[in-house]
């Protein structure tokens, strides 16, 4: 069961990392568009 | 197995508690691991990098009396935090990743202590495991875990939960001596918690609720009295200390007109506070809309948003009270009433500079995590009941989905704090009406101008636009004027810079040393004043800055430069030495000291200073470092003793 638990933990950590990267990339795209589209 | 354990029968119970705890702690650490690559941002500059007090361990005792506040020590009203920062600085220096590692370690420690407290109360494995895991990855914790200067929230929660755990252990101790020792331990831990952030005293209320509601059957009895008294004593001692030193619970001044509560009154502030707290609840449970900055104008009690928020919060409180009264769903009653109690200290009943900030939800989220975990575990059980033939692991699906959602959004929210420019860009996007964010962004543009600002008109235009917007948004606040002043100084428009710095000072600039030092510097270059008047003004501002801010390296470095320029070499050398002691990482002060020796014709002394700081100067601006080295070579060549002719 311990092995299963750590496999589950690895799955959660990996999913978080993928989801986190998606959030970060979205923010960077917004940054770039801000840089070109706004007056300031 | 107790009845509550069987109620939560699921795969959790098949894993050893130690393995489960290890997994939960690993997960909490992994989620915030990327923050180790981040810069020091926000107030880190003020409380860690430029805080000369951290370099003076001999003065640590001042924190216990009024002197630390009188000398403008940053966060002087949080002695535990300042002592912790001092120890961190002395051991770790100023490398950002080391301080971020401490933050992550503190957060992981809080997760472990939360698990330990719940286990001590008799919570079933599924519940303490789920609560700790959820608390560990919550997205609303991105700010307090990522910004080093917000260690106060982590320390308050860590020491506070430690105090509750030890107080419970005191009640279970078999021998009187062990019971009394543990009660004393609870007192000390609670004092440390409240010394980090006074809000931690609300944790005593959480302990009373948890023991009174008995959600997992552990009755409270006479043996719990020493532990309870220990907690009360610890919280009371720190409250008394705060009252004696600061004359009130809030250190921000009951009559400071810059504070919303003072400016707009309690009623309007609380009306907004209701909306803020409903917002916190939403952001803890479903973490969308997190931001490093919020604009929260006061509101009326008749506005629809206030009415809706008040109805929701009062409804929740009534539900919690009903549950507590009828002993129904005690875990949820503990979560609801605990969250309300833990939010009270920062609910704007007392003056605070920010009405809202993500970090203020760190303590209340302890109770919310418990309630949310209980609901997710219950949802998993319901799922399993609907499909009894499915694998037992399916009962974890709701919890795992929430962990992934919270963890991913935590990493997304944390990235806003990667650097100062990223932070204020995000703040502007989330709160475009924030004068502070515009002023900060304008200043960063101004600071990015090089020695010849006229070659970068777009950057000047951006800085100027942000400063002007900030002034329109908050004409009576100091930061917009500081923004204009810094831009004017970067453009070498000294008269305008002086005027704007003076306006910032009049508007009640916090941390005046920055403005006083800037005024001293620009006064010396004002073309509109006769030379004797400039000199007198510069000296007066510089002396005022070092008198009022004896731990400000900036104030000492500026005063040293002014005395250097005015030819007062002895005083300049003394001030450079003090500035270097207060902030040994400032290579510019070392280079200025070398130049002072060269100006005096002491080439050998200049060489010695340079040699003594070889490592530090590796980080110096190459152009400035080479300029000083060339000067030194010239001086050694020109000022060398004259050779005697062989025939003389």
The three state secondary structure string of B156-202 is HHHHHHHHHHHHHHHHHCCCHHHHHHHHHHHHHHHHHHHHHCHHHHH
Q: Are B65 and B569 in contact (CB under 8 A)?
A: no
Shortest distance, CA A40 to any CA of chain B (angstroms): 5
Residue B447's pLDDT band, with cuts at 50, 70 and 90, is confident
Contact B23 A5 (CB under 8 A): yes
Contact A19 B466 (CB under 8 A): no
Provide the number of CB pairs (under 8 Å) joining chain A to chain B. Answer: 84
Residue B642's pLDDT band, with cuts at 50, 70 and 90, is low
Mean pLDDT of all residues in B46-67 = 94
Q: Are B619 and B587 in contact (CB under 8 A)?
A: yes
Instruction: Look at the alpha carbons of B403, B144, B82, B612 in this order and tell me if their dihedral is positive or negative.
Output: positive
Whether the pLDDT of residue A29 is over 60: the answer is no
Classified as helix, coil or strand, B51 is strand
C-alpha span between B445 and B518 (Å, rounded): 18
Give residue ranges of B with CB < 8 Å to any A CB: 11, 14-16, 19-20, 23, 26-27, 30-31, 34, 137, 393, 396, 400, 403-405, 407-413, 415-416, 422, 425-426, 429, 441, 461-462, 465-466
pLDDT tens digits for range B259-316: 888 888 899 999 999 999 999 999 999 999 999 999 999 999 999 999 999 999 999 9
Residue B209's pLDDT band, with cuts at 50, 70 and 90, is very high
Whether the pLDDT of residue B8 is over 80: the answer is no
C-alpha span between B74 and B149 (Å, rounded): 10
Which residues in chain B have Cβ-Cβ distances shorter than 8 Å to A23?
A: 408-409, 411-413, 415
> Which candidate from B26, B405, B411 shows the least CB-CB separation from A24?
B411
Shortest distance, CA B496 to any CA of chain A (angstroms): 22
Which residues in chain B have Cβ-Cβ distances shorter than 8 Å to A18?
A: 408
Which residues in chain B have Cβ-Cβ distances shorter than 8 Å to A39?
A: 465
pLDDT tens digits for range B492-501: 888 999 999 9
Q: For residue B342, count CB atoms less than 10 angstroms from its CB and return exposed for 0-12, middle for 13-18, buried for 19 or more.
A: buried
> Which candidate from A2, A31, A34 shows the least CB-CB separation from B15?
A2
Task: Say what the pLDDT of residue B527 is.
Answer: 83
Chain A's closest residue to B20, CA to CA, is A5
Shortest distance, CA A17 to any CA of chain B (angstroms): 6
Task: Say what the pLDDT of residue B458 is.
Answer: 87
Mean pLDDT of all residues in B131-157 = 97
Which residues in chain A have Cβ-Cβ distances shorter than 8 Å to B26?
A: 9, 13
Which residues in chain A have Cβ-Cβ distances shorter than 8 Å to B399?
A: none
Contact B415 A19 (CB under 8 A): no
Among B141, B415, B427, which would you mutate to test the A interface (most chain A Cβ atoms within 10 Å of its Cβ)?
B415
Which residues in chain A have Cβ-Cβ distances shorter than 8 Å to B404?
A: 12, 15-16, 19
Shortest distance, CA A20 to any CA of chain B (angstroms): 4
Mean pLDDT of all residues in B40-67 = 94
Percentage of residues in chain B having pLDDT higher than 70:
96
Among A7, A23, A36, which would you mutate to test the B interface (most chain B Cβ atoms within 10 Å of its Cβ)?
A23
pLDDT tens digits for range B516-527: 999 999 998 888
Pairwise pLDDT comparison (A5 vs B157), residue with the higher score: B157
Contact B411 A2 (CB under 8 A): no
Pairwise pLDDT comparison (B633 vs A23), residue with the higher score: B633
C-alpha span between B202 and B342 (Å, rounded): 5
Q: Check if the interface score ipTM surpasses 0.85.
A: no
Which residues in chain A have Cβ-Cβ distances shorter than 8 Å to B19?
A: 2, 5
Whether the pLDDT of residue B326 is over 50: the answer is yes
Tokens of B586: 């400032």
Shortest distance, CA A35 to any CA of chain B (angstroms): 10
Contact B408 A12 (CB under 8 A): no
Q: Ramachandran region of residue B511, left (φ > 0), alpha (ψ -120 to 50) or beta?
A: left
Give me chain B's average pLDDT, please.
92
Contact A34 B429 (CB under 8 A): yes
C-alpha span between B351 and B262 (Å, rounded): 7
Contact B408 A19 (CB under 8 A): yes
Contact B466 A6 (CB under 8 A): no
> Which candidate from B16, B31, B425 shows the least CB-CB separation from A31?
B425
Contact B405 A19 (CB under 8 A): yes
The residues, any chain, with a CB within 8 Å of residue B644's CB and separated by 6 or more, are: none
> Which candidate from A5, A18, A27 shows the least CB-CB separation from B415?
A27
> Looking at B243-247, B350-354, B454-458, B562-566, which range is the least confident one?
B454-458
C-alpha span between B434 and B463 (Å, rounded): 15
C-alpha span between B485 and B462 (Å, rounded): 15
Dmax (CA) of chain B = 112
Q: Are B131 and B117 in contact (CB under 8 A)?
A: no
Task: Say what the pLDDT of residue B203 is.
Answer: 97
C-alpha span between B427 and B417 (Å, rounded): 10
Residue B182's pLDDT band, with cuts at 50, 70 and 90, is very high
> Distance between alpha carbon B119 and the CA centroid of its chain, in Å?
30
Contact A16 B465 (CB under 8 A): no
């Amino acid at each position: 069961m311990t092995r299963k638990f750590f496999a589950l933990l690895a799955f959660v950590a990996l999913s978080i990392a993928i989801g986190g990267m998606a959030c970060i990339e979205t923010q960077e795209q917004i940054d770039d568009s801000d840089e070109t589209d706004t007056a300031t | 197995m107790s009845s509550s354990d069987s109620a939560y029968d699921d795969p959790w119970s098949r894993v050893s508690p130690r393995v489960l705890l290890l997994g939960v702690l690993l997960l909490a650490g992994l989620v915030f691991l990327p923050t180790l690559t981040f810069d020091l941002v926000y107030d880190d500059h003020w409380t860690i990098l430029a805080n000369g007090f951290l370099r003076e361990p001999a003065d640590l005792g001042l924190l216990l009396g009024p002197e630390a506040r009188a000398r403008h020590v940053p966060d002087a009203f949080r002695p535990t935090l300042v002592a912790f920062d001092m120890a961190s600085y002395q051991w770790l220096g100023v490398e950002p990743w080391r301080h971020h590692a401490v933050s992550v370690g503190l957060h992981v420690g809080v997760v472990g202590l939360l698990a330990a407290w719940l286990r001590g109360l008799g919570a079933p494995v599924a519940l303490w495991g789920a609560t700790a895991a959820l608390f560990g990855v919550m997205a609303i914790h991105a700010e307090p875990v990522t910004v080093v200067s917000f260690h106060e929230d982590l320390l308050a929660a860590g020491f506070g939960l430690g105090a509750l755990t030890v107080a419970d252990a005191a009640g279970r101790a078999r021998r009187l001596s062990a019971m009394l020792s543990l009660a004393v331990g609870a007192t000390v831990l609670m004092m440390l918690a409240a010394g980090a952030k006074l809000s931690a005293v609300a944790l005593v209320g959480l302990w009373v609720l948890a023991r009174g509601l008995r959600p997992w059957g552990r009755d409270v009895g006479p043996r719990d009295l020493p532990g309870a008294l220990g907690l009360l004593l610890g919280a009371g001692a720190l409250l008394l200390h705060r009252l004696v030193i600061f004359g009130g619970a809030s250190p921000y001044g009951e009559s400071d007109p810059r504070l919303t509560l003072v400016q707009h009154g309690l009623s309007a502030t609380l009306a907004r506070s209701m909306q803020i707290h409903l917002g916190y609840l939403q952001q803890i449970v479903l973490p969308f809309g997190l931001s490093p900055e919020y604009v929260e104008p006061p509101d009326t009690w008749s506005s629809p948003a206030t009415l809706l928020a008040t109805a929701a919060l009062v409804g929740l409180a009534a539900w919690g009270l009903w549950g507590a009264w009828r002993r129904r769903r005690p875990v949820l009653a503990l979560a609801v009433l605990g969250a309300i109690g833990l939010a009270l200290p920062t609910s704007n009943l007392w003056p605070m500079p920010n009405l809202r900030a993500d970090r203020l939800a760190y303590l209340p989220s302890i109770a919310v995590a418990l309630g949310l975990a209980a609901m997710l575990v219950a949802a998993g059980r319901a799922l399993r009941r609907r499909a009894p033939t499915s694998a037992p692991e399916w009962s974890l699906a709701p919890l795992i989905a929430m962990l992934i959602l919270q963890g991913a959004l935590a990493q997304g929210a944390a990235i806003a704090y990667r650097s100062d420019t990223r932070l204020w860009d995000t703040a502007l996007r989330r709160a475009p009406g924030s004068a502070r964010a515009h002023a900060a962004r304008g200043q960063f543009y101004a600071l990015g101008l090089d020695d010849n600002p006229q070659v970068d008109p777009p950057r000047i235009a951006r800085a100027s636009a942000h400063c002007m917007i900030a002034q329109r948004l908050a004409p009576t606040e100091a930061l917009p004027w500081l923004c204009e002043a810094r831009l004017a100084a970067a453009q070498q428009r000294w008269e305008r810079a002086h005027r704007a710095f003076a306006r910032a000072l009049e508007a009640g600039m916090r941390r005046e040393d920055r403005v006083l030092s800037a005024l001293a510097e620009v006064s010396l270059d004002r073309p509109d004043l006769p030379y004797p008047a400039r000199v007198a003004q510069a000296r007066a501002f510089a002396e005022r800055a070092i008198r009022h801010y004896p731990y400000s390296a900036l104030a000492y470095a500026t005063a040293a430069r002014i005395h250097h320029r005015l030819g007062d070499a002895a005083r300049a050398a003394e001030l450079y030495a003090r500035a270097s002691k207060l902030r040994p990482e400032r290579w510019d002060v070392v280079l200025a000291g070398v130049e002072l020796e060269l100006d005096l014709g002491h080439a050998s002394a200049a060489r010695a200073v340079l040699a003594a700081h070889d490592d530090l100067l590796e980080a110096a601006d190459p152009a400035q470092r080479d300029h000083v080295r060339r000067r030194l070579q010239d001086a050694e060549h020109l000022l060398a003793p004259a050779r005697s002719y062989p025939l003389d």
